[in-house]
Amino acid sequence: MELKRVVVTGLGAITPLGNNLAEYWNSLKNGVSGAAPITRFDAVKHKTKFACEVKGYNALDHFERKETKKLDLFTQFALIAAKEAILDANIDLEATDLYRAGVIWGSGIGGLDTISQEITSYVKGNFVPRFSPFFVPKMISDIAAGQISMKFGLKGPNFATVSACASSTNAIIDACSYIRLGKANIFVTGGSEACISAAGVAGFNSMRAISVRNDDHKTASRPFDTNRDGFVIGEGGGALILEEYEHAKKRGAKIYAEVIGSGMSADAYHLTAPHPEGEGAIRVMQYALEDANLKIEDIDYINVHGTSTPLGDVAEVKAIQKVFGDHAYKLSISATKSMTGHLLGAAGAVESIAAIMAINHNIIPPTINQFNLDPNIDSKLDFTFNKSKEREVRTAMSNTFGFGGHNATAVFTKIR
C-alpha cells in the first residue's frame, strides 16, 4: 500500500508569548520571556509565585457568557487555536467532505481547574453533593476534541491523546498516520493545557519540578544553564491543520511544511526522571529518522524538549550526540521553553509550530536565559543562546518527552 503524503496547511496559537500565530512567532524570534507573577489565583502561600500565563485573556472576547460556563480554560484555548488554524488554512467547510475531516487533540491533564473548583465548592458546602451538571463534560481530557468537532461540524475520527508532556505530539503523529493510511483528508490536531491553578502549581512544587526563582522570574526558565532549578509552568494551545497532499494541492492551499516522519518510544525507567543516558530519547529520534527515510545530515534544526530541569537537559543532549555524532555540531538546537515556559500537554503542538515557522522563515528561535553553561553539556554544540540566528532550515525535528517515560518526535520538512 502506498502511503499518502501529509502537509501542514494551517496554524493557530494562543500562548504566553502572544494570543495568535503572528504574535507568538514575533516574540519567539525576538527572545521574549513569557514569565510573570501569577494572576490566575492568589499564590502568596505557594513556593512558586510566577508562571507563563496567556496575557490579557478575556473569555468574553471569544465566547458568549453562557458558553464559558460549559468550557474549561483548556477547552477555550483549544477552540481559539483551532479556529485560527482553520481560517489560516482557508478551508471552505461547506465544500469539504466533513466525514473525512477529523480532530485529534492532546492534553496531559484536561480540566484541572474545573476539578479544583468543584471539589472546593463541595467542601465549603459541608460536603453536600451539589455539583454542576457541566462538571464532568468540562473536565474530561477528550472534551476539547469533541468541542472542536461540534463547533466546526467535523465528523471524521475524533479522540484525545494523553501522554503527559508528549500528548500533543502524539496527537499530531496519530493524525498524520490516519491521513497516510487514507482514512481521512484533513485533521485539526494539536493540544492545549490550563494548569496554572492552586492545585497545579502546588502539585509541581511538591515534586520539586518547577522553578522557585521568584526574585528573577523572567530568567527562571534557563535550559542547559548550570543554575537551572526546574521548569516554569505555562498554559495555552497550538493547532495544526494536517491535510493529504493531493487534497491540499487540488484546492490550492498554502503549504507550510510536510510532516515527513515521526517516532515514539518509552523509557520504561522512572515515574518522572528520564533515563540518564537518554536511552528512550535516542530511540525515538532514530525511529523518526527511519520513518522519514532521512540521513542524520538532513536535519538542520532540533526544537528540543529542554525543560530547564537538571536531569532532563543533560540526558537529551547526550541522546542528540549519540544519534547525530559529528553532525550534532552542525545542526542548530534551541529550547523555546526558555520563553514559553512548559505548556505540558500543549508543548508538542506549540513547539512543532515553532519548528515549522523556522522552516518557513529560515530563522532559529533562541534559547534565552543562558548565563553559565552546565559543565556536563558540550559547549561546542549550537544551542542558539540568547539571540535568534538566520540559517537555511530545510528539515526540523521537534522532541517531547513526558512523565511516565513517554517520548515522541515529529519531523517537518520544506515541501518538495
Active-site residue list: 165, 305, 342
Cell numbers at 270, concatenated? 522512572
- Amino acid type, 361: H
